[in-house]
A and B are shown apart, each in its own frame.
Chain A
């Protein structure tokens, strides 16, 4: 039986002469919460952008296993929307919502790749389209309730408080029914109470059987939530292991403290 969901081997990205990611090997297990940490500029977000197809890797392979016994799918060279359709959804470090759309509509966009209505369906509004539209609304609302934003349904996303916007990004990603959820600094800019709430939420989502890979600087969150941690510095993986192992790893301490 295969317990891997994502297998990355030899992944490299270069921008001009700069190697942003250098021969990265990583594998994520089904249903775990894993974290990628590292100093600023280490290449963490670049790594996420490669996984989601926003950047094209210059070398290496990204294999995604959409189920326990499923065939591997190579995500390399796929377009972002195809990757989302395969079951990898993400949030962004600097919130990228659709500010002019309502909270519910933002989540409804996440349902896009799980629905089929065409132009003709939109024009004639036949029974199938109406049913699908209702399904989109219902599912989106359920997800909003889940992340605790049911009170904001018809509010413009741009007018939401900061913490709520972060949650809304997660809701939007969840609406795409991912198997693997990539969270880019989900707790950035949050106060301790909000961080606790978001940790709780991430735990709940993981309990539903989603695999979560997150980038985070808040060590309390990473250490208490994640089963495995990967440490990246200068585009290279310098350590991997359980929180306990990482905490005592001399290379990691050196990278963080510069000693």
Chain B
């Protein structure tokens, strides 16, 4: 950094510091003691604010400069590719991760296992929303509604008819998918912000119905004593049930990864991505927009429904408070943070967003603050998500005939 540049940066940092001092002055410096009727002037705080403002603004700009020396935000290649370009090494890594996942409940306590189960649930939710938001590019802020539909399908069918977990699992998924189509129809013409608003409303409608239609859903008091998943008719102890649901979730995650992975590079997956990239061109190229959008909504909702059933079975108690907008926001953050359209990214995003707040408990009351700062930093430095989705490279092996 040349001297005059350094001088300029220092000057700017100083201005930032002064501005912060001005902004925080009434809050940090002036303190009115109403009992003693005196004003305390805490000049020391002003010094701290100034120093911190100066330091962080300088640091921030220094980091930004190192990050992109005059270059616009690149379309970075996937991290996974950069880490292990050799597919053999990657395979070994995946096998190792799987072994770890299988052995996890044996190594750690049942408390840790429960947290991990939750994280795995969010992985599947993230993968489901990834179909809608990441691939098809339809910003859905009411995703939690489908999760609620799945959970309440199981809770109600179990409560009224004593249907078991395995019976309701596909039913819950299908009912949620149906709701996905139901939401999909009116929003076919909408795009971007408008779509986001309608889906947000949809999510709230579902929650409000569950909260207020007492005869149907038992209102805010919720439904309790939902059966845990059955294991060939055996009654499981609490510890065994935790273990069972953990492995169940692990299996679901693997199935979801498999399915989403296959869809991604299929005819349908390409149509979704084309829809995200340019809707008009997509139509003009012969893709049925209606069908493509509805399948995206239905498939995304299907996964949420499945996980809803698992959620109801895991907690054995549900009420509308579990399905607030915050949940939708968290699932959406998982997708955006991880990298829209990237399977590995979504998995990583789910682990970070679900596990980090748990392990940040050490920071007690500052944990949400720390979490927020982390999110902001991530979005500043990797706006495309932790792992940007890479497109598949095709290798043309067969030379076509020169005649054709």
Contact = CB atoms under 8 A, between A and B. Distances in A.
Contacts of A67: none
B278 interface: yes
B398 interface: yes
Interface stretch (B47-55, B106-114, B262-270, B365-373): B262-270
Interface stretch (A21-29, A97-105, A223-231): A97-105
Contacts of A96: 278, 280-281, 284
Interface string A19-52: 0000000000000000000000000000000001
Main secondary structure of the interface of A (DSSP, over half): helix
A108 interface: yes
A31 B75 CA distance: 43
B286 A98 contact: no
B393 A98 contact: no
A156 B389 CA distance: 12
B393 A142 contact: no
A253 interface: no
B287 to A, nearest CB: 5
B284 A84 contact: yes
Given A81-B286, A100-B273, A100-B391, A123 B281 contact: no
Contacts, number: 129
B285 A84 contact: yes
A105 B267 CA distance: 10
Given A109-B285, A133-B267, A142-B404, 13 more contacts: A54-B283, A54-B284, A80-B283, A96-B280, A96-B284, A97-B277, A98-B278, A101-B274, A101-B277, A112-B285, A119-B268, A129-B266, A153-B394
B268 A138 contact: no
A243 B392 CA distance: 47
A100 B390 CA distance: 9
A119 B263 contact: yes
Interface residues of B, number: 35
20 contacts: A52-B284, A79-B283, A79-B288, A81-B283, A81-B287, A92-B281, A98-B274, A98-B277, A100-B273, A101-B270, A105-B391, A108-B270, A109-B282, A109-B287, A112-B270, A115-B267, A119-B299, A121-B267, A122-B267, A138-B400
B385 to A, nearest CB: 13
Contact of B396 (A119, A153, A172): A153
B270 A105 contact: yes
A110 interface: yes
B295 interface: yes
Q: How large is the interface on A (under 10, 10 to 19, 20 to 34, 35 or more residues)?
A: 35 or more
A70 to B, nearest CB: 19
A112 B281 CA distance: 13
Contacts of A114: 286
A111 B273 CA distance: 15
Contact of A156 (B75, B267, B295): B75
A11 interface: no
B267 A112 contact: yes
Contacts of B269: 122
B309 interface: no
A97 B278 contact: yes
B295 A119 contact: yes
B12 interface: no
Contacts of B382: none
A125 interface: yes
A172 B289 CA distance: 18
B168 interface: no
Interface string B168-200: 000000000000000000000000000000000
Contacts of A104: 394
Nearest to A132: B267
Nearest to B75: A156
Interface string A110-148: 101111011101110100010011001110011001000
Interface string B65-77: 0000000000100
Name, among A102, A105, A117, A172, the residue most crowded by chain B CB atoms within 10 Å (CB to CB). A105
A137 B267 contact: no
B271 interface: yes
A90 B391 CA distance: 25
Contacts of A6: none
Interface string B245-282: 00000000000000100110011111101101110111
A141 B399 CA distance: 9
Contacts of A125: 262
A74 B286 CA distance: 17
A81 B259 contact: no
A98 B288 CA distance: 16
Contacts of A187: none
A180 B394 CA distance: 30
Interface in B291-306: 295, 299
B259 A109 contact: no
* Interface pairs A-B: 10 shortest CB-CB: A113-B286, A122-B266, A84-B286, A98-B277, A96-B281, A80-B283, A154-B393, A117-B267, A142-B400, A109-B274
